Chain A
Amino acid sequence: MDAIATVLPQDVRVVAVVGCSKNAGKTTTLNALLEGLGGTLPRPGVLSIGIDGEEADFWLGVPKPRVEVARGDWVATAEAALAAGTAVVEVKERTGGRTLLGDLVVGQVVRAGTVLLAGIRAKDDVRAAVAAMLRLGAGRVLIDGAYQRLAAADPEVSDGTIIATGAVLGPTVDEVAGRTREFLQRLQVPATTHAADRDLMATAVAANRLALRLEGSGDPPVLAESPSAPEAAWILAGGDAVVAVPGAVGDDLVRQLAPRATGRVRLLAQDPTRLFLSPMESSRFRRQHDLRVIRPIRVLAITANPFSVFGWTLPRPGMVEAIRAVAGNVDVLSFDVHPPPCPGA
């Protein structure tokens, strides 16, 4: 478990745990982080954007690992959810935010045990809860993702991200590694190296429209509703271009963009959580053009779980090896998680 501390640099105060798939091992990773931070002061805080620490998986009904907190740890959850865990939590602050289980509170654990983390739905509420925990004295904040949602990995929410992957992604090592690579490619879209791109994105965000300009041109940027708008087409017809998208980037957008481009396009998104390109469209686009973000995600580590909730187990060394091969210089860790006990077996 000490390995976990090595992947958390000092400057990373807010850590998101996201899964390549649901049941990939997010909660196990979260518990390992909490345990790994066992001796550290000040104590960490935890919150979830889904629902965490419940007894059974919301979809499969199978037993799930519980979220285990120690004395001094911080939690942000619904007040009503505190009854469902065995830990005793002293409520310190009501943030005014809401979860589906009721009003959100930030509290500190006075007796160790399990907690039920009720999901905080909106990104702004997550940021408010994180800020409250840090202000009240938490050393770090760990955010558990939900399902395979990426919102918590947004660099405006978290300083770094840990990816949970595992056998649940497929029955063979190669399939798991392949799908992990796809996920990683999406999260690791590189930052732009052009200083002027930031200004272009700021223009796009302020206007809530696409902002376009010709590469190297000193002309003011052009705003457009979509790549097929005449203003956009005019820029794209002029040669190499830079296009800043303030919101979500999906297949439709690049399908409209690519045929209109006469030169090379550098497509800018705010950060990788805004990217919703299918692997096919993404690779097709990137063969001829460039995809960049303003704020990259710092991927701290990948955790690999050899047990699948669907009942199969992959050889741990082989799986870790295969994931290392696609992980580049990102650390790959595998914890001693065990399959849920099989009663009567």
Chain B
Amino acid sequence: MSSDNPPTRMASGVDLHAVRPYGDTLSDGLVQLSFSLPIPPGPEAREAARRLAAQMGLNEPQIYHEADLGYGFSFWILYGKCRFHVDLTRIVVPKIEAPAMSLEEINDLLREKAGRRLRVVGACSGTDAHTVGIDAILNMKGFAGEYGLERYPAFEVFNLGSQVPNEVLLAKVRELKADAVLVSQVVTQKDVHLNNLAEWVDMVEADGLRNDLLMVCGGPRITHEVALELGFDAGFGTGTTPRTVAAWIAHEWVRRHG
């Protein structure tokens, strides 16, 4: 998991223009790797695994474990020295812009600036049936010791549950005159959730609702950067707590309307 916070302390001697993996010596580039091959183990398979690792950019690839999975498959654990480096100073990563606020502060801010409850609609959209994430953010009881958005007087929450088609979600957003929509996508097979999220953004735009709506997506493989690429206003990944989402919605709404 990447951290949203800049490192507070750097190990001494690190060249930020050429950052490499660290095993036990600065810039040794050591990397561990495991994978299966659809071929049985044996001398040729061993060489194939080694060459693959070399093509992945690992010098001195060392095979430490090979196993026969049966039915023509083999499993490999390797170590090697990564020959690449990255220039940290050229990296620009979009970050969620919202101050940390308490439940009370969020309510106070919206009471003052909005003077009404913001309507928040949430759903697991498309074919996704995994409501754990959206429930953790929205439901009264919340997640990780923080109350969910239902607990905030500043929000009126509509949790539409699982497997909500984009078209149905759109109709609901229109009907409820939503201020913010949270869509959760967990299933990752064959990028189906990405297609679905992209379609959702296009559909909101097609319906003329984009400008008035805060569009949020979340899920284990969602980052703020994925959200950017897909046209959302914010994206939240694993471990996001309800208060982070609540603070972002409040902050962003006030920035736009306040």
Interfacial residues, chain A to chain B (CB-CB below 8 A): 22, 49-51, 55, 58-59, 80-81, 83-84, 99-101, 116, 118-119, 121-124, 146-151, 208, 246-248, 250-253, 270, 273-274, 276, 342-345
Contacts and interface: CB of A to CB of B under 8 A. Distances in A.
B206 A248 contact: yes
A276 B199 contact: yes
Nearest to A274: B206
B211 A50 contact: no
B85 to A, nearest CB: 12
B220 interface: no
Contacts of A343: 55, 57, 83-84
A333 to B, nearest CB: 25
B198 interface: yes
Main secondary structure of the interface of A (DSSP, over half): loop
Interface in B161-211: 165-168, 170-171, 191, 194-195, 198-199, 201-203, 205-211
A146 B231 contact: yes
A344 B228 contact: no
Contacts of A99: 228
A59 B224 CA distance: 12
Contacts of A122: 205, 210-211
A273 B205 CA distance: 9
Contacts of A150: 202
B205 A151 contact: yes
Given A148-B195, A252-B165, 12 more contacts: A50-B229, A100-B94, A100-B233, A119-B228, A150-B202, A151-B201, A247-B208, A248-B203, A248-B206, A273-B202, A276-B166, A276-B203
Contacts of B84: 343
Contact of B167 (A49, A147, A276, A342): A276
Interface string B140-154: 000000000000000
Contacts, number: 120
B233 A121 contact: yes
B226 A58 contact: yes
B205 A58 contact: no
Nearest to B92: A84
A250 B229 contact: no
Nearest to A120: B231
20 contacts: A50-B229, A50-B230, A51-B229, A58-B226, A84-B91, A119-B229, A121-B210, A121-B231, A146-B230, A151-B201, A247-B170, A247-B208, A248-B206, A250-B166, A250-B170, A252-B168, A252-B171, A274-B207, A276-B202, A343-B55
A84 B191 CA distance: 28
Given A250-B166, A276-B167, A149 B91 contact: no
Query: Considering the complex of A and B, which 6 residue pairs feature the smallest CB-CB distances, nearest first?
Result: A247-B207, A250-B167, A100-B228, A274-B206, A100-B94, A84-B92
A251 B199 CA distance: 13
B217 interface: no
Main secondary structure of the interface of B (DSSP, over half): helix
B92 A148 contact: no
Given A121-B233, A123-B210, A83 B201 contact: no
A149 B167 contact: no
A247 B199 CA distance: 14
A100 B93 CA distance: 9
A181 B221 CA distance: 31
B225 interface: yes
Given A83-B90, A84-B91, A247-B208, A147 B194 contact: yes
A59 B226 contact: yes
- Interface-centre pick from A101, A248, A344 (highest chain B CB count, 10 A): A248
A151 B225 contact: no
Contacts of B205: 122-123, 151, 273
Contact of B198 (A58, A118, A147): A147
B26 interface: no
B211 A124 contact: yes
B49 interface: no
B250 interface: no
B54 interface: yes
Contacts of B201: 149, 151
Given A83-B90, A246-B208, A343-B57, A50 B83 contact: no
A342 B54 CA distance: 10
Contacts of A59: 191, 194, 226, 229
A49 B165 CA distance: 24
Contacts of A124: 210-211
B231 A51 contact: no
A335 B191 CA distance: 27
B227 interface: yes
Contacts of A276: 166-167, 199, 202-203, 206
Contact of A149 (B55, B90, B198): B198
B101 to A, nearest CB: 20
A122 B198 CA distance: 13
Nearest to A85: B90
A274 B210 CA distance: 13
Contact of A100 (B55, B195, B227): B227
Interface string B98-136: 000000000000000000000000000000000000000
